[in-house]
Amino acid sequence: MNIYHELNKMMDYIEENLDKDISYTKLSRILGVNEYTMQRLFSLLCNISLAEYIRKRRLSQAGYDILYNQEKIIEIAFKYGYENPTSFSRAFQKFHGIKPSQIRKEKVIKNYPKMYFKEQINTKSEMEYKIITLDAFTLYGKGMKTTENTISKDAPSFCENMNELYGNKYGSFDYGMVLYEDRFNSGNFEYWILWRKEIEEFEKIEFPKCKWLLFHIPNTKAVDMQKVSHEFYYEFLPSCKYNLRELPELEYYHDGVTDFLVPIE
């Protein structure tokens, strides 16, 4: 699959339907994956969520229509999916820096351009993996708030603090886990440390029976974990057709090594 060719087809579909309902089901079919995976890939490869991209393209086109067409502003608001003039005016002013009613006089608008991808694919490093099935299981642990920009420092520090607080009492933790506040529209995360043993003072996290992609890392270093995670999302996932399942990824620490586990359908 040439992911960039398919992304360009997605962009064409979005562009043709800015003034209509845009079907996420249709977009996922173009990409050949489920809706959840499609949104994840889009946000990773485009550095913007799908919803935000569509919003910015619609507001760009709305500004053009107000400036060059004779439609009423209220008609343009409805045309691009806004239920009332107030919500449209608020969004429009935030994006363009000017009220819709001032556009024809001031003749100043902002444009967020349609994305286009070069379709050349560069061969990169190989990634060995296994597909495993795990029965339903329960983990126990604690989490901390972090962000996309700070997790690389926060996670190792949190692991060290948790080990100091609970290592003697419960032994070494078994798993690391990232929870997303809003996976496609926010850079806010929670990083969790989890044990397999039942610990009453900790929160309980339950996982259903599921298939997982397993990537083996020959140590427990955070820098190597981050490298494999980056390679998976930016190189491996765009080149395959695995459908992600809406569950957290896990880092399983055992015997001095790490298994990076990604849930799939």
Question: What DSSP string describes 7-23?
Answer: HHHHHHHHHHTTTSPPP
Q: Give the domain ranges of the chain.
A: 3-106, 130-264
Question: What average pLDDT is seen over the chain?
Answer: 90
| 3-state SS assignment for residue 92 | helix
- Sign of the Cα torsion 152, 156, 158, 159 reads positive
pLDDT tens for 106-157 read 887 889 999 988 876 555 667 889 999 999 999 999 999 998 788 888 888 9
What does residue 244 show for φ and ψ, rounded to 5 degrees?
-70, 145
To the question of domain 3-106 being in CATH 1.10.10.60, the answer is yes
- Looking at CATH, the fold of the domain delimited by 130-264 is given as Multidrug-efflux Transporter 1 Regulator Bmrr; Chain A (3.20.80)
Whether 184 has a pLDDT exceeding 80, the answer reads no
Task: Tell me how crowded residue 76 is: count the other CB atoms within 10 A of its CB.
Answer: 22
pTM to 2 decimal places = 0.80
Q: Are 48 and 54 in contact (CB under 8 A)?
A: no
pLDDT tens for 48-64 read 999 999 999 999 999 99
Nearest-10 Cα torsion for 73, 76, 81, 85: 10
- Sign of the Cα torsion 42, 47, 48, 49 reads positive
The whole-number average pLDDT for the span 186-192 is: 83
